[in-house]
């Protein structure tokens, strides 16, 4: 069984990531549960979606609870910190190092945590992979491809091949963005191998 938590800021494309991941599971004979967030909380607020995949047993709940996540895929640094309690000891945290200021920080009522990424690394009882996914996405030609860059990194932790991911991505994005997204995925997939 695989429990994945996808955390980010409304508008970053976390829903597409969970949809593609769910589709992959379905394509390859897994029982799948995906829990999404729609409506008010999508408007620039914290958003969390859950993806559960299982080949052995039937799944019931669509929610991943505290300490149960094998992987936390965080689209933003503060959201990674917020969602750390989901991760089980020995799990994996994949974090985009991008920092998006929440409104209390913008107005000066609160402070963005100093050395947020350092705190994620220090507090996580898990393997932390940090990358500038938005920088990579821009190099691929679109800010919006940040989700496919992160999916590329995630792919290394899951039992699906690069080709299987490519087809699930192409199924779920507009044809004109397929090329950008495939490239972005590959940049994530091979992240850390040549550096």
Partner 1 sequence: MKQLLLGNEAIARGAYEAGVRISSAYPGTPSTEINEAMARYSEVYSEWAPNEKVAVEVALGAAVFGARAMACMKHVGLNVAADPLFTAAYTGVNAGLVLVVADDPGMHSSQNEQDTRMLARAAHVPVLDPSDSKECKDFMSIAFDISEKYDTPVIVRLTTRVAHARTVVEPGERKDIPLKEYAKNTAKFVSMPGNMIKRHVAVEQREKSLAEDADLLSVNRIEWGDKELGVITSGAAYNYVKEALPEVSVLKLGLAYPLPRRLIEGFAKEVSELVVIEDMEPFFEDAIKAWGIPCSGKDKTGIQGEIFAGKIAAKFKGDPDPGPMTFGGIPVRPPVMCAGCPHRGLYYVLSKLKLNVLSDIGCYTLGALPPLNAVDTCVCMGASIGMAHGAEKARGGQSKKTVAVLGDSTFCHSGITGLLNMAYNKSAGTVIIADNSITGMTGHQDNPMSGKDLSGQPAPQLDAMKLCEAMGIKNVRVVDPFDLKALENAIREETARDELSVIISKRPCALIVKQPNTPYYCDEAACRNCGLCLKLGCPAIVKTEKGVRVEESQCVGCGLCAGVCPFGALSIRGNDHA
Site string for partner 1, 70-99 (x = CB under 8 A): --------xx-xxxxx------------x-
Q: At what angle do helices 146-155 and 14-27 cross, to 10 degrees?
A: 40
The answer to whether 179 and 141 have CB atoms below 8 angstroms apart is: no
- Return the residues of window 110-129 that contact partner 1 according to CB under 8 A: 110-113
Residue-wise burial string across 141-167, b where 16 or more C-beta atoms lie within 10 A, e elsewhere: eeebbbbbbbbbbbbbbbebeeeebbe
Size of the site for partner 1 (CB under 8 A): 56
Q: How far is the CB of 38 from partner 1 (least distance, A)?
A: 6
Phi, psi of 82 (to 5 degrees): -65, -35
192 binds partner 1, rule: CB under 8 A: no
- Return the residues of window 36-75 that contact partner 1 according to CB under 8 A: 36-46, 60-63, 65-67
- When binding is defined by CB under 8 A, the residue of 28, 54, 88, 102 that contacts partner 1 is 102
Q: At what angle do helices 146-155 and 133-140 cross, to 10 degrees?
A: 110
Q: How far is the CB of 32 from partner 1 (least distance, A)?
A: 6
Strands 69-74 and 87-96: parallel
**Contacting positions for partner 1 (CB under 8 A):** 9-11, 18-19, 22-23, 25-26, 31-46, 60-63, 65-67, 78-79, 81-85, 98, 100-113, 134, 143
């Amino acid at each position: 069984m695989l429990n994945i938590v996808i955390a980010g800021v409304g508008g970053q494309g976390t829903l597409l990531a969970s949809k593609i991941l769910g589709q992959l599971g379905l394509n390859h004979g897994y029982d799948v549960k995906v829990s999404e967030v729609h409506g008010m909380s999508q408007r620039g607020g914290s958003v969390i979606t859950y993806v559960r995949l299982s080949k052995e047993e039937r799944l019931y709940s669509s929610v991943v609870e505290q300490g149960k996540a094998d992987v936390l895929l965080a689209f933003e640094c503060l959201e990674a910190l917020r969602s750390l309690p989901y991760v089980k000891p020995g799990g994996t945290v994949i974090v985009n190092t991008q920092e998006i200021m929440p409104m209390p920080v913008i107005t000066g009522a609160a402070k963005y945590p100093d050395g947020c990424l350092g705190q994620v690394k220090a507090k996580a009882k898990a393997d932390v992979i940090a990358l500038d996914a938005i920088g990579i996405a821009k190099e691929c030609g679109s800010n919006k491809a940040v989700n496919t860059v992160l999916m590329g990194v995630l792919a290394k932790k899951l039992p699906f091949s690069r080709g299987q991911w490519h087809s699930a991505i192409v199924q779920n994005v507009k044809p004109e963005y397929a090329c950008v997204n495939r490239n972005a995925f590959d940049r994530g997939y091979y992240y850390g191998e040549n550096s």
